[in-house]
Amino acid sequence: MNYGFVINNDTCIGCHACSTACKSENEVPLGVQRTWVKSVETGLYPNVTRNFQVTRCNHCANPPCVRICPVTAMYQRDDGIVEFDPDVCIGCKACMQACPYDAIYIDPDSGTAAKCHYCAHKVDLGLEPACVVVCPEHAILAGDLDDPTTEIAQAVAKNKVTVRKPEQGTAPKLYYIGGDDVAMHPTAVNRTPDSFAWADVLSLNGGDGHGGKAPEELTAYGKKSASGQALRRPEPQGDPSGGVIQIGEGRMAEQMTQVVWNAQHKVPWHWPVPAYLVTKGIASGLFMILGSAFLFGLIGVNNHVFMASSFLSLLFLTATTALLVFDLERPERFLRIITRPQWRSWLVRGAFILIGFSGLVALWWLGELSVWMEWLPESNVAPFRTPIMWVGLPLAIGTAVYTAFLFGQAEGRDLWQSPLLPVHLIVQAVLAGSAMLLVVGTFLDLGTDISSVVRASFIGALGIDLAVTFMGEFGMSHASEAAAKAAHMIVKGRYARSFWIGSTLLGHVIPFGLMFTGSPGIVAGLLALFGLYLFERAFVNAPQEIPNS
């Protein structure tokens, strides 16, 4: 068995019966959807054509959501259906980042991932999915693609069919007859807040709306509505938790192509993720700098600096773990990453790298603390210092780098698929670690040898980070339109001010200059950390604002 869908866009009338039946059959809450109908108008009035596209999970033969899920909550059945288990899901939202089709959402009632599951409970009883049964035009076909006698297999054989984003290598099994480019490709039409004929405009208390202009009495963002709820300016890709529906201004087809209606999706990862990249970089960078310098004889033993640095590394590793748990929709389930790991996921691999590195840093700190507190003589601790550094160095590098491979599994965000990302994360870790050591040097005497290493590491990391950023991440052409749009948003769009003024000027250029003026190292270090956070914020957020549906 190999279940799939065929949707005939030539006969679809855009009645939304499929999306309504899906909601009813699966008790899908308001504000989220497993199936939705996208409408796009082409032409100029009065010569206008409206194109419909039914969108849902593609039940890929090579599903990236299954690979990235750390606890096997998202899994593929033997019959090809990509199913999910809400009783297992921890709400990490990684599957949402991995899906190139925006097919997955977080259920607002359960806090777990959900999507079209092919009405598996009906299929197991020999019945068809609810959307197939209710479609008045028989525009949706479902069945076994491997059985040549089925209607769906014959439809695929007889018609010219297309799939969405074949370049992703997911082998989607949702085929379209008469698929129109302007509807099939999410970036084919530049969607502005006024481009929808019917749009969700307003969000209340944290809902992320998107769409046309709100009426005058609802545009006072920062004030309160009649019900006393705070009004917030909507974010791109927002998914409303409450709102109003408006008719767009002007004629409906005043442009050659415009999206009339589409479902909006929440941005899954917010500030905790860029913050975790910084805290993780500090923790691993501290160890990488001091550990490698010690092992290669560039510095001697400095118990006070080693103790302070190991404590800070452990502290920021704790902060990293806290941020990761905080970002989960079901944080009480976070231990399932350890108790039922899915080893293909870099969330799992990264978690075990973090655990191993944290344990080793804790041993290092306890050893240095024992000497400082005179619990143990230096002669008892010294033999263990070198083995700890040798074992800890690859773990520190792994801690800094594993997120690059996690981002690589997030196939829905093309900008993150950069082959330079592992190198970039190592450079950023050295930058963060040396910046923190400059801060430490304000309160502790680092000594001449450590000060020299820290200064060289900081200046070198600033220069290399700028080179990797401008010559690699943003200087080279990007492999896809989505990646190019996200990069443009960072360099010239929404995040340009924080990128150029915050990350580049305050975070790199000024700290570099301060290192040659005799200014306190704490100023350069804190500015560099601030600039690093602004860069990570833009790098994490911008690709999520490029629509996948």
Q: For 475-503, what is each residue's pLDDT tens digit?
A: 888 888 899 999 999 999 999 999 999 99
Last residue of a domain, one of 139, 164, 184: 184
The whole-chain average pLDDT of the chain stands at: 87
* DSSP structure class, residue 66: H
**Size of the chain in residues:** 549
Q: What is the pLDDT of residue 268?
A: 92
Domain shared by 428 and 448, yes or no? yes
In a domain, 285, yes or no: yes
Q: What's the alpha-carbon Rg for the chain, to the nearest Å? A: 26
Residue 223 located in a structural domain: yes
Give the pLDDT band of residue 397 (cuts 50, 70, 90).
Answer: very high
Query: So what's the pLDDT on residue 244?
Result: 36
pLDDT of residue 197: 62
Average pLDDT over residues 299-312: 95
DSSP characters over 199-212: EE--EETT---BSS
Closest by alpha carbon to 543, among 503, 505, 493, 501? 493
pLDDT at 248 over 80: no
Residue 532 lies in a domain: yes
Give CA separation, 226 vs 214, 216, 217, 229, 231, in Å. Answer: 15, 13, 10, 7, 10
Share of the chain above pLDDT 90, in %: 75
Reported as a pLDDT band with limits 50, 70 and 90, residue 47 is confident
Judge if 361 and 256 occupy the same domain. Answer: no
Distance separating alpha carbons of residues 92 and 336, to the nearest angstrom: 11
Question: Is 471 inside any structural domain?
Answer: yes
| Same domain membership, residue 166 and residue 29 | yes
Please, which residues bridge with residue 138 across strands?
A: none
- Residue 549 in any domain: the answer is no
168 lies in the same domain as 202: no
- At residue 236, does pLDDT exceed 80? no
Examine the fold and report which residue of 184, 211, 231 is the final residue of a domain before the chain moves on.
184
Dihedral Cα 519, 525, 529, 535, nearest 10 deg: 50
Residues 403 and 503 grouped into a single domain: yes
Q: What is the pLDDT of residue 472?
A: 85
Residue 202 has pLDDT above 70, yes or no: no
**Residue 28 pLDDT more than 50?**
yes
How confident is residue 191, by pLDDT bands cut at 50, 70 and 90?
Answer: low
> Could you say which of 266, 286, 317 is where a domain stops?
266
Strands 36-44 and 161-162: unpaired
Tokens of 60: 């890929």
At position 271, the amino acid (one-letter code) is W
Question: What is the mean predicted confidence (pLDDT) over 350-377?
Answer: 95
Range of the domain at 199: 193-266
List pLDDT tens digits, range 443-458. 999 999 999 999 999 9
Helices (H), 269-302: 272-295
Q: Which residue, among 149, 98, 53, 147, has the nearest Cα to 411 in the 3D structure?
A: 98
User: At residue 249, what is the residue type?
Assistant: E
pLDDT band of 182, cuts 50, 70, 90? confident
94, 98, 99, 104 alpha-carbon torsion, rounded to 10°: 0
> In terms of domains, do 510 and 377 share one?
yes
Domain identity same for 52 and 201: no
Say yes or no to pLDDT of 211 above 50: no
Contact partners, residue 497, CB within 8 Å, separation at least 6: none
Asked if residue 502 is part of any domain, the answer here is yes
Distances (CA, A) of 116 to 105, 170, 442, 483: 10, 17, 56, 27
Residue 52 lies in a domain: yes
Task: Tell me, yes or no, whether 214 and 310 share the same domain.
Answer: no
Question: 312 and 237, same structural domain?
Answer: no
Please, which pLDDT band fits residue 192 given cuts at 50, 70 and 90? low
Q: What's the CATH number where 467 sits?
A: 1.20.1630.10
Task: Please name the helix (run of DSSP H) or strand (run of DSSP E) that holds residue 232, with its range, or none.
Answer: strand 231-232
pLDDT at 237: 52
Torsion-angle region of 202 (φ positive above 0: left; ψ -120 to 50: alpha; else: beta): beta
> Do 25 and 151 share a domain, yes or no?
yes
Is a pLDDT exceeding 60 seen at residue 212? no
Q: Is residue 357 part of a domain?
A: yes
pTM of the complete model: 0.88
User: Could you read off the pLDDT of 51-68 as tens digits, one per residue?
Assistant: 888 999 999 999 999 999
pLDDT of 199 reads 54
Q: How far apart are CA 454 and CA 302, in angstroms?
A: 14
pLDDT at 243 over 50: no
CATH number at 64 reads 3.30.70.20
Residues 124 and 206 in one domain: no
The pLDDT value recorded for residue 49 is 83
260-269, 308-317, 521-530: lowest mean pLDDT where?
Answer: 260-269
For residue 223, give the nearest of 239, 237, 202, 242 by alpha carbon.
Answer: 202
pLDDT confidence bin for 190, thresholds 50/70/90: low
Distances (CA, A) of 86 to 80, 269, 397, 447: 19, 20, 34, 55
**Amino acid of residue 147:** D
Domain count for the chain, please give it: 3
pLDDT of residue 477: 86
Say yes or no: 180 and 226 in one domain: no
